[in-house]
Copies of this chain bind each other. A is one copy, B any other.
């Protein structure tokens, strides 16, 4: 088990593309829906992800705040394909670009499918108060907006968002 401390931002412009070191195609789904966690009938999300030639089962605690317990186990890709078929909600497809800036590695997720148009950048920190430089292409922070969780995007993708919801200043 690890503790994951992550912050998430929108991305403005294309400035990050030139700095991307590599890109990884990802397909993922969830065995639970976002509603189960909202209703309190589940306390962790269970994600299946195929990441290039590898696949992982991931369990993340649903806790308020920016720090979560995270468990990740490799599984055979063939199992992951069958597990994806058992997932509820839609399948998340994205390209994850790895972009280094001022000593930190950013993950810039460019979504496809029903979430096309959404691009977010995530940074993983060692502690909740770790300082980091904001690259020029970084937009508004959305860490605390549940609609940007991948789990939420599986149930209610970006294509279904209202104009207001696409404005991160809309606080919920």
Q: Is the CB of A71 within 8 A of B75?
A: yes
Cα distance A57–B82 in the bound complex, in angstroms: 16
What separation, in Å, do the CA atoms of A80 and B166 have in the docked complex?
Answer: 39
In-complex Cβ contact of A88 among B35, B41, B88 (8 A): B41
A42 to chain B: which residues have CB within 8 Å? 31-33, 36, 88
Within 8 A of B (CB), among A62-96: 69, 71, 73, 75, 78-79, 82-83, 86-88
Can you list 30 pairs linking A and B with CB atoms under 8 Å apart?
Answer: A1-B79, A1-B82, A31-B32, A31-B42, A31-B43, A31-B44, A31-B46, A31-B59, A32-B32, A32-B36, A32-B42, A32-B46, A33-B36, A36-B36, A36-B42, A41-B88, A43-B86, A43-B88, A44-B86, A46-B46, A57-B57, A57-B73, A59-B83, A61-B86, A69-B86, A71-B75, A71-B79, A71-B83, A73-B73, A73-B75
Q: Number of A residues contacting the other chain (C-beta, 8 Å)?
A: 25
Set of chain B residues within 8 Å of A82, measured between Cβ atoms: 1, 69, 71
Q: Mark A120-139, 1 if CB is under 8 A from B, else 0.
A: 00000000000000000000
Question: A residues near B, CB below 8 A?
Answer: 1, 31-33, 35-36, 41-44, 46, 57, 59, 61, 69, 71, 73, 75, 78-79, 82-83, 86-88
Quick one: copies of this chain in the complex? 2
| A21 CB, nearest partner CB in chain B, Å | 31
- Chain B residues within an 8 Å CB radius of A83: 44, 59, 71
Residues of B within 8 A of A88 (CB): 41-43
Partner pick for A41 among B33, B43, B46, B71, CB 8 A cutoff: B33
